[in-house]
């Protein structure tokens, strides 16, 4: 039973993107993008702003997915001592992209799944021949053990290659390996606290002691690194905001005492009081932050969110509008502004003004909430067929294909503007293709 349990853990580690909870934060994602840009440039890889994602998970981890998408755990962000640690993690994950490890991992996983399927078939035969269930278990465990041994050896070599690439990418940007070494030591300490033995048999990474020694060797030979004071200061603010949002309220005040008047502490206190629906207390800290930095879009965003969470959407609209004026490229600000407008009994002109804004957000990335808000906008304008089409797009985006098909059929039975009609037909073809693909499994 223990070996089966470890097999399950192994499979989860091998494919971390299978089931994750993402959070959106414009400030944190922009900071990660700024860190990642020189690394991708050194690697000669294309980088899109939407390649960066934050996973709500307290563990020390990061991973890459399809099409160069980078996922960083909140635990990694919150426990980092400085930006150089995160740079090291990003450089390591970029090493996986350059090495083609994602595709190879998929192939290896398919091999492992085939081996497991074959073992189940063999197990059924063994049980039938002997009349004993333990014979079947022995066959399954034996096959899984050999498959996992092969997979683990493969993973270890890939991790070592990614470490070597990370060192090269960091040094090309005059950045130190120290952060990556320190991060490895954090993992080492966490493992010891949890009583995890560094046994290579069931690990998908080389033992951290080996990796720390490797980075120490490189550290002794590196040239002086560039200053990262600005990126470190930005990280402190992001950490304060994330911690104040995610941690239990008593822990927020323990980490950021009320007599702490630093900028990160003011951010944490504003979020702390916002979570308690104490608008006046939250606004006191936001007033201080904005008095010092009136052109900071993230402070205006936080002010807007505080109004919105306190049931004052009209005030939130004004603050979101200010944030959007200061950072017009932000899709997240556009979506938050649209939500606030839709919650504030909007006039017809206000509804119409949201259409280009939401369409613009969707051009850079398919946001399910953008489809949802467009449906609300057109419903408010009395264009029900168009609203049905956007509701179908929303449900398709969140994987509710059956609901999407019904809403789309409803939309197509009514007159539609020519441009919407074309998009509806395209969605119909996509849904048919999805249904055909799903019917094969």
Q: In what order do the strands lie in the sheet with 70-73?
A: 22-23, 52-55, 70-73, 62-64
The H helix count followed by the E strand count for the chain is: 20, 4
SS3 407: helix
- Give the number of other Cβ atoms within 10 Å of residue 304's Cβ: 27
Q: Which residues contact 7 (CB under 8 A, 6 or more apart)?
A: 144, 148
62-64 and 70-73 strand pairing: antiparallel
- The Cα–Cα gap between 175 and 167 comes to 9
Q: Which residues contact 32 (CB under 8 A, 6 or more apart)?
A: 52, 54, 70, 72, 86, 90
Nearest to 208 by CA among 149, 159, 164: 159
- The Cα–Cα gap between 385 and 380 comes to 12
Pair 333, 320: CB distance under 8 Å: yes
| pLDDT tens digits in sequence order for the chain, 441 residues long | 333 333 232 333 333 444 578 899 999 999 999 999 999 999 999 888 888 999 999 988 888 887 688 999 999 999 999 999 999 999 999 998 887 656 545 544 444 444 444 444 344 444 444 444 444 434 334 444 444 444 444 466 778 888 889 989 999 999 998 998 888 888 877 766 665 554 443 344 455 678 877 777 877 877 766 778 999 999 999 999 999 999 999 999 999 999 999 999 999 999 999 999 999 999 999 999 999 999 999 999 999 999 999 999 999 999 999 999 999 999 999 999 999 999 999 999 999 999 999 999 988 777 899 999 999 999 999 999 999 999 999 999 999 999 999 999 999 999 999 999 999 999 999 999 988 877 654
Q: Which residues contact 132 (CB under 8 A, 6 or more apart)?
A: none
Nearest to 371 by CA among 391, 342, 388: 391
């Amino acid at each position: 039973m223990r070996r089966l349990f470890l097999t399950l853990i192994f499979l989860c580690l091998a494919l971390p993107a299978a089931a994750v909870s993402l959070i959106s934060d414009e400030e944190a994602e922009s900071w990660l993008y700024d860190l990642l840009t020189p690394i991708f440039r050194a690697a000669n890889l294309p980088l899109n702003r939407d390649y960066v994602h934050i996973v709500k998970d307290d563990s020390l981890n990061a991973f890459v997915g399809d099409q160069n998408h980078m996922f960083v755990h909140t635990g990694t962000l919150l426990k980092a001592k400085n930006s150089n640690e995160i740079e090291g993690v990003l450089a390591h994950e970029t090493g996986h992209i350059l090495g083609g490890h994602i595709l190879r991992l998929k192939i290896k996983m398919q091999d492992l799944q085939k081996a497991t399927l074959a073992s189940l078939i063999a197990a059924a035969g063994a049980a039938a021949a002997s009349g004993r269930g333990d014979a079947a278990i022995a066959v399954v465990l034996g096959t899984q053990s050999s498959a996992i041994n092969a997979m683990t050896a493969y993973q270890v070599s890939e991790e070592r290659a990614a470490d070597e690439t990370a060192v090269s990418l960091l040094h090309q940007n005059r950045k130190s390996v120290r952060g990556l070494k320190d991060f490895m030591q954090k993992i080492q300490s966490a493992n010891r606290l949890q009583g995890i033995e560094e046994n290579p048999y069931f690990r998908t990474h080389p033992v951290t002691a080996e990796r720390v020694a490797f980075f120490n060797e490189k550290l002794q030979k590196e040239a002086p690194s560039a200053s990262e004071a600005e990126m470190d200061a930005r990280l402190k603010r992001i950490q304060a905001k994330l911690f104040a949002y995610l941690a239990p309220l008593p822990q927020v005040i323990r980490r950021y005492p009320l007599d702490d008047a630093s900028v990160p502490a003011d951010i944490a206190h504003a979020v702390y009081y916002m979570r308690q629906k104490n608008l006046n207390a939250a606004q006191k800290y936001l007033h201080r932050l904005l008095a010092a930095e009136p052109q900071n879009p993230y402070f205006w965003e936080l002010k807007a969110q505080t109004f919105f969470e306190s049931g004052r959407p009209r005030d939130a609209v004004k603050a979101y509008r200010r944030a959007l004026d200061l950072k017009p490229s932000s899709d997240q600000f556009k979506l938050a502004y649209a939500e606030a407008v839709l919650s504030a009994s909007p006039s017809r002109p206000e509804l119409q003004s949201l259409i280009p804004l939401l369409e613009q957000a969707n051009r850079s990335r398919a946001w399910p909430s953008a489809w949802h808000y467009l449906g609300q906008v057109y419903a408010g304008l009395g264009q029900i067929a168009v609203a049905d089409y956007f509701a179908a797009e929303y449900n398709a985006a969140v994987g509710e294909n059956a609901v999407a098909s019904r809403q789309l059929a409803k939309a197509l039975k009514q007159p539609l503007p020519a441009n919407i009609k074309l998009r509806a037909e395209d969605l119909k073809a996509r849904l048919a293709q999805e249904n055909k693909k799903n019917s094969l499994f």
